[in-house]
Amino acid sequence: MTGAVHQLSYDLLKDLDPVAMIVTNPQLLVSKNAVPAKDLKEFLAWVKANQDKVAPRIQIVHYRGAAPAMQDLLAGNIDIIFDQAAQSIPQVRAGRVRAYAVTAKSRLAAAPEIPTVDEAGLPGLYMSIWHAIWVPKGTPRAAVMKLNDAIVEALADPAVQKRLADLGQEIPPREQQTPEALGAHHRAEIERWWPVIKAANIKAD
């Protein structure tokens, strides 16, 4: 998250007012096809049995974006990645990579055949890239709600819903499209992930 790895000139919670969550984009745990495991439990067993062969040997490899990481996976240079569903699903459908699980509580509408982490054997490993709209702190409430209304209306459009679903993006339920819901989610994500990022000393290069 930006505020955890970059020094910002503003406070993400104090200097911005939430408007609406737009979509969430769960991660997929995917491997190159050469990995012999057919499901997540087999993959975990394979890793344990092949510590000397797994490339890299269970270490984090930093990439400047998801696309280069996927290119290396397709080339066989790495064995497994957590990748955004929006990018991975086309590769999975084309048979170029193997998906083991989606890091969400429910299966994706765009790929219902992929089990959740709960079903696959890593319960509770929920990770999602999410997109939302904020405005500067102190923006008049009427303006915030007018913008929120426009977002809610757009997300209710069947064509928009289908396009986002095809990309593996998930629209939050209507009750989660409010400014208050976004604010609560944002605070919860900071409380959950920032201590992990700081404890692991993860920095932006």
pLDDT digits over 180-190, tens only?
999 999 999 88
- Among 41-55, 75-89, 108-122, the range scoring the smallest mean pLDDT is 41-55
Q: Say whether 34 sits in a helix, a strand or coil.
A: coil
pLDDT digits over 96-145, tens only?
999 999 999 999 888 899 999 999 999 999 888 899 999 999 999 999 99
Give the model's pLDDT for residue 30.
Answer: 94
**Phi/psi of residue 16, each to 5°?**
-130, 145
pLDDT digits over 129-139, tens only?
899 999 999 99
For residue 179, give the nearest of 136, 148, 142, 156 by alpha carbon. Answer: 148
For residue 2, give the nearest of 203, 136, 183 by alpha carbon. Answer: 203
Give the model's pLDDT for residue 87.
Answer: 85
pLDDT > 90: what percent of the chain?
A: 50
| Amino acid in the structure at residue 153 | E
Distance CA 96, CA 24 (A): 24
| Distance (Å) of CA 77 to CA 25, 26, 64, 74, 100 | 25, 24, 16, 8, 19
Tokens (6 digits) for 189 = 């994500």
| Distance (Å) of CA 117 to CA 30, 33, 185 | 12, 20, 21
Whether the predicted pLDDT of 157 surpasses 70 = yes
